[in-house]
Structure 1
C-alpha cells in the first residue's frame, strides 16, 4: 500500500480543488491547494510536496510554465490536468516535464489510480537500490544503485520516468518492449494512459543520451511494435 504523502493541488476553480482534495484526504494524504501558478510555486518552495496535481489553464503563469519551473527545482511527480484533450496539449504537458496527463472530466477512481502509481514510482529507488550491477555499453554507463547515468564521462540528469524506461530496456538488451509493456513497467499500468506518452519520454531520453537523437545508437525504434535497447555486441 502506498504510504501517505503531501500533495499540492493547483486549480483556479475552488470547486475543482475541493473535488480533487476530498478523495486524497480520505486516503490519508495531506493536501495543500493553490489557485494560481505563482502561489503554487511559493507553496512548493515552502512545503516541498511529494506530488503535484497541476491544472493547465491558470491565471498569470499557466500550468505548462509552472511545470517547467517545478522540473528545474525538483523531480517531484507532476500530474497535469486539463479540459483540453488535444494531442498537442498532452505532448506540450509531457514535454514541459509532467509525468502524466489527465483530461477532464475524469473519474475519482482514475485520479486515485494515477496518484497511487506516481507515488509508488517515486518511492521505488530506495526499495530497489543495490539489486542490479551497473551497465557499461559504448559511451553509456547506467548505475541503478546510485541512480546515475554517465554519457561520455559526463553525468546527465534524467527524470524518474526516463531512468525507469532506460533501465527497463538496458537490462534486457535486444528485447522488444511494446508501449503497453513500458507503461506497465515505468508507470505501473497502461490503464487510462495513452501510448503516445511513452514516445514523448523516449524522445527526451534520446536527447540526453544519444549523440544524434534522430539516429539513436541505444534506444532503437521497432516499427509497429515499440522499442528495444541495442544488443551488447551491437
Structure 2
C-alpha cells in the first residue's frame, strides 16, 4: 500500500512497483489508509508523514496496534528527531525526499529477503534466562515475563539474528547488512534506534541491558545462552 498525497509521487511509485510485478493499492488520506489496512492484508506499506485526515505518524501508530506489517516512511522531514520519532513509532525504515527510486526498490527487496528468511526459520520455541524470555520463531513472537513484547518485523528479525548467535559480538555495519539488508550510511543511528526500541520492550532496565549487550568499540551481542532444557 502506498500512502502518499502528492499524486505525481504516488503515480511514479505505483508505476515502478507494478513494473516489478507487485500488486499495488494507493491512497492519499490517512484515515483511508487505516481503513484499507482493516479491510485488506498488505505485505508492505510506503507511508508519507504529511497527510490530510491523519498524519503519517498517527497512521503508523494505528497500524502498529493491529499488525507488524513492514512500514517504510517516505518523507520530506529530514531532521534526526523526526527519524527517531518515526522509528520509535515502529517504522522499519525511513527514507527522506528527494530519494532515488533504485534505492527504495533495493530496500523493499531487502525487506522481502528478510521476510523470506523469517518464514524459513526453525519453528522451535526457544527460552532464555530461566524461561523469562520465550521466543517462538513460527509465530514470530517474543514473551518476556509472560508478557508479549510486541516487536515490529525489523525488531524481531534483529533480535532473532542475535539470539541464534549468542555471545558473538557484531559490528553495526555487519548487523545492518545481515538484518536490514544494506550497509548503513552515516553513523548507523537507524540501527541504534532499533536496538533501543527492542531494549525498551524486553529489558527489565533498558539502561542496564542484559539481553542485548553493548561491547564498547565493537558492537552488540546477545547476553544469554538458551536454556538447557530446550
Q: Assess same fold via TM > 0.5.
A: yes
Choose the corresponding residue for 2:90, options 78, 81, 97. 97
Q: Which runs of 5+ in 1 are unaligned?
A: 1-7
Aligned to 1:44: 37
User: What is the CA–CA distance in structure 2 between the aligned matches of 1:107 and 1:77, rounded to whole Å?
Assistant: 20
Higher strand share: 1
Per-residue CA deviation, residues 45-83 of structure 1 (Å, 9 max, x unaligned), is 222221110001112311111011111111111000111
Choose the corresponding residue for 1:159, options 138, 152, 156. 152
User: What is the CA–CA distance in structure 2 between the aligned matches of 1:146 and 1:82, rounded to whole Å?
Assistant: 32
Q: 1:155 to 1:56 in 2, by over 3 A?
A: closer
How big is the shift at 1:133? Answer: 6.4
TM-score, structure 1 length as denominator? Answer: 0.88
User: What is the CA–CA distance in structure 1 between the aligned matches of 2:95 and 2:119, rounded to whole Å?
Assistant: 27
| Structure 1 runs of 4+ with >6 Å offset | none
- Residue pair 1:77, 1:119 contacting (<8 A) in 2 also: no
Aligned to 2:202: 209
Asked if residue 134 in structure 1 is aligned to residue 119 in structure 2, the reply is no
Choose the corresponding residue for 1:24, options 17, 26, 41. 17
Aligned to 2:103: 110
Per-residue CA deviation, residues 79-129 of structure 1 (Å, 9 max, x unaligned), is 001112111111111111110000111111111101111222233332223
Trace 1:46-195 onto structure 2 (pairs within 5 A): 46-130=39-123, 134-138=126-130, 139-190=132-183, 195=188
TM-score, structure 2 length as denominator? Answer: 0.89
Q: Which runs of 5+ in 2 are unaligned?
A: none
Q: 1:129 to 1:146 in 2, by over 3 A?
A: farther
Q: 1:124 to 1:93 in 2, by over 3 A?
A: same
Per-residue CA deviation, residues 154-179 of structure 1 (Å, 9 max, x unaligned), is 34322222122112222222221111
Q: Which moved more, 1:29-38 or 1:192-201?
A: 192-201
- Residue pair 2:157, 2:179 contacting (<8 A) in 1 also: yes
- Residue pair 1:110, 1:192 contacting (<8 A) in 2 also: no
Report SS of the residue matched to 1:134: strand
- Cα RMSD (Å): 2.0
Per-residue CA deviation, residues 126-164 of structure 1 (Å, 9 max, x unaligned), is 22233x662423422333344332322334322222122
Equivalenced residues, count: 225
Choose the corresponding residue for 1:221, options 196, 209, 214. 214
